[in-house]
Amino acid sequence: MTTAKSEPWPGEAPPVVAPRVFAVPPGPVMLTVPAAAPDLVQRIAEVMGPARPAAVLLFGNPEGGALAPGRALREALGGHCHVVSCSSAGEIGPTGYVKDSVVALGLPAESFRVGVCLLRDQAQVPVSEWMARLRRFHADFRPDLRRSIFGILLADALAQHEDVLVATLDAAIPGLPVVGGSTAEGIGFLPTSQVVDGVAHPGAAMFLLIETDLAVAEVSFAHFRPTERRAVVTAADPQSRIIWELNAEPAAQEYARLAGLPPGALTTAEFARHPLLLRTGRRHHVRAIRAVTPDGGLQLLSGIEAGHILTVGRAVDMTRGFADALDALPRPPMIVLGFDCILRRLALERAGMAGQMSELLSRYRVAGFNTYGEQHSGMHVNQTFVGMALMPPEAG
């Protein structure tokens, strides 16, 4: 039997249909506190407490170290909240680039679920152990396929094994979008501080698995283009990330020739302007130079091996492409969890463009820190901004 569709009588007003209300899940809470503030924990707790966070991330170098504030904040917010902190080479907060500050980012439990996995003994590179731990962690987490999920990897830069670490993570949990940064304290590449729930974990990598009701999208931007000047790595020490020879010549000498620089002008600023690029697939990734060794080698911030073909890069606009990458997102972000190489920040400061970049970071609500290497898409790279944009979910 067919039921006729109900129609209004002539002259009768059509039935009123209430508009559908779409409630946006609560987004992250962000604030910046001076690193020397005596009431640092209290100020963070007062802002984070009402959000009932599943986790609070702290980026920076609080006076006296991160251990005591991590413990105190954990007690103030309750055992249900993870508190994860790491030192940095600089911070990114509500006003853009900041110094001598602690940036706090709270993830409300109403719209986030967070798990933390420690990958210990980076210097020993226990790949099989890491693989088993990550697979077990992911299985125990039991992701909800109806929600967005991504990972954050915070690795001790001084261990110098991020390349293996990122590849292991990508193999253990394939298809998971992961972003992150290599941590060290200040611009002097000092030992890093890493604390989870009030316990310090030197030499470890901290992996966070985050599930959310918000939409997520990975963002990356490097302000370099390849030139025609290439070189083959003919001798290297992969363990120490040192190139001894390029094109069968002393590495620093040959690099200076290719970059068009006097041998005595190899400074951090020139390394930032003329980075070495390694092509993987269709993309070039930066292999940043940290220093010249006493015997003329090049110390890098990423892995390198004999046989790699490197291209000298040239810098392009450091701000325009960044804005283009974020404007391409489907919706304006509520926040962008961002990791920006310290060499990019130093280059911007020398070019007098740090204020301009800070305005962009503030406009797009970036929260994060300056790193000694960035992780994304299964790669460890340098002189790149990488981030995870958190956006309101699509209506319906």
Q: At what angle do helices 354-363 and 320-327 cross, to 10 degrees?
A: 10
Closest CA relative to residue 326, chosen from 356, 353, 363: 363
Measured CA angle at 229 (ends 228, 234), to 5 deg: 135
Q: State the Cα–Cα distance between residues 175 and 267, nearest whole angstrom.
A: 39
pLDDT score, position 10: 43
Residue 350 has pLDDT above 90, yes or no: no
Query: What would the pLDDT profile of 201-219 be if each residue is shown by its tens digit?
Result: 988 899 999 999 999 999 9
The dihedrals phi and psi of 183, each to the nearest 5 degrees, come to -105, 140
Q: What one-character DSSP code corresponds to residue 12?
A: P
| 248 close to 356: Cβ distance less than 8 angstroms | no
CB 300 within 8 A of CB 332: no
Q: Which domains does the chain have, with CATH numbers?
A: 29-221+319-391 (no CATH), 224-315 (2.40.30)
Tokens 């020397």 appear where? 36
Bridging pattern class, strands 366-371 and 91-93: antiparallel
Q: What contacts 120, CB < 8 A, 6 or more positions away?
A: 126, 201, 203, 204
What's residue 16's pLDDT? 52
Dump pLDDT digits (tens) for 88-100: 999 999 999 999 9
Q: Which residues contact 328 (CB under 8 A, 6 or more apart)?
A: none
Picking from 290, 267, 282, 302, the residue whose alpha carbon sits closest to that of residue 380 is: 302
Decide the pairing of beta strands 242-246 and 249-250: antiparallel
The set of residues, in sequence order, having a beta carbon less than 8 Å from that of 197 and lying 6+ positions away, is 70, 74, 82, 83, 84, 116
**Encoded tokens for 150:** 């991504």
Choice between 86 and 396, residue whose per-residue pLDDT is larger: 86
CA distance 27 to 16: 33
Average pLDDT of the residues in 235-258? 94
Task: Please give the average per-residue pLDDT across 212-241, as a whole number.
Answer: 92
Which among 203-212, 215-224, 372-381 has the top mean pLDDT? 203-212
Confidence band (pLDDT; 50, 70, 90) for 85?
very high
For residues 61 and 59, give the distance between their C-alpha atoms in angstroms, rounded to a whole number.
7
Task: Please indicate whether residue 79 or residue 177 has the higher confidence score (pLDDT).
Answer: 177
At 7, is the pLDDT very low, low, confident or very high (cuts 50, 70, 90)?
very low
122 vs 115, higher pLDDT: 115
Furthest-apart CA pair in the chain: how many Å?
A: 95
Task: Work out the pLDDT band at 22, boundaries 50, 70, 90.
Answer: low
Structure tokens at 64: 């006296």
User: DSSP string covering 289-312, please?
Assistant: EEEE-TTS-EEESS---TT-EEEE
With 70 as the cut, is the pLDDT of residue 14 above it? no
Strand partners, 93: 96
